[in-house]
Structure 1
Amino acid sequence: MKLFSLTLVALLLAAVWTESWGMSFRSSYTKCCYKKMFIEKEIPASFIRSYQETSPRCSHRAVIVELLKGRKFCVDPTEPWFQQYLQRQKLSNASV
């Protein structure tokens, strides 16, 4: 019984340690976008809270766009409407 308890504690500590280093499988999976996850229609700029590029290790290049209400969508960064959004962001940041 002591060996089982010791093994369980070791596994829990390993899980906590890898999570603190950002190595969990769940967190790396959620930061990638796959072909069927991309949204096709334009998102109005006034709805966008933030965006984040996916990891270069992902199979598809993408941007995860977070809306004001907290929902997240995968967007192709080469979409013309997203490129226009980026240009407007750069201009507004330069004028501040």
Structure 2
Amino acid sequence: MSSLRPLNSALLFLQGSFAGCTQPILLSLPVGSDPPTSCCFTYTAKKIPRNYIADFYETNSRCSQPGVVFTTKKGREICANPAEKWVQEYMDHFELN
């Protein structure tokens, strides 16, 4: 018998690879719950050039840690730490524009 058990509370759909992945992970909750949400489990180690960014959103409060997801002009999503000064500056910039 396998030691793996099905996930009752959430199914994980991964975007990207496990090792060093800074892309958000989509959590799909059971039927009847809120729509799927993105959570960040790791953050980018590098500051993203601001001219690469098209938009951003903050992760859901249900996530295990806070996160900001920047969407690049090429459609890539990158997780960043909202406590970092550059992340806060970018958020302010995009909220004003």
Q: What interval of TM-score do these two structures reach, taking the shorter chain for normalisation?
A: 0.5 to 0.7
Deviation string, structure 1 residues 21-56 (Cα, Å, up to 9, x no partner):
62xxxx33xx0111xx31011011111111010000
Query: Greater share of helix residues, 1 or 2?
Result: 1
Q: How far apart, in 2, do the equivalents of 1:32 and 1:90 lie?
A: 21
Larger Rg: 1
Q: How far apart, in 1, do the equivalents of 2:39 and 2:61 lie?
A: 9
Tell me the C-alpha RMSD between the 2 structures: 1.9
Query: Greater share of strand residues, 1 or 2?
Result: 2
Q: Does 1:78 align with 2:83?
A: yes
Q: How many residues align?
A: 66
* Structure 1: segments with no counterpart, 5+ residues: 1-17
Q: Does 1:64 align with 2:65?
A: no
* Structure 2: segments with no counterpart, 5+ residues: 1-30
Tell me the CA shift for residue 86 of structure 1.
2.6
* Among candidates 56, 60, 81, match of residue 55 of structure 1: 60
Deviation string, structure 1 residues 44-78 (Cα, Å, up to 9, x no partner):
11111110100000001001111000111110011
% identical equivalent positions: 35
Tell me the CA shift for residue 88 of structure 1.
2.9
Q: How far apart, in 2, do the equivalents of 1:57 and 1:87 lie?
A: 23
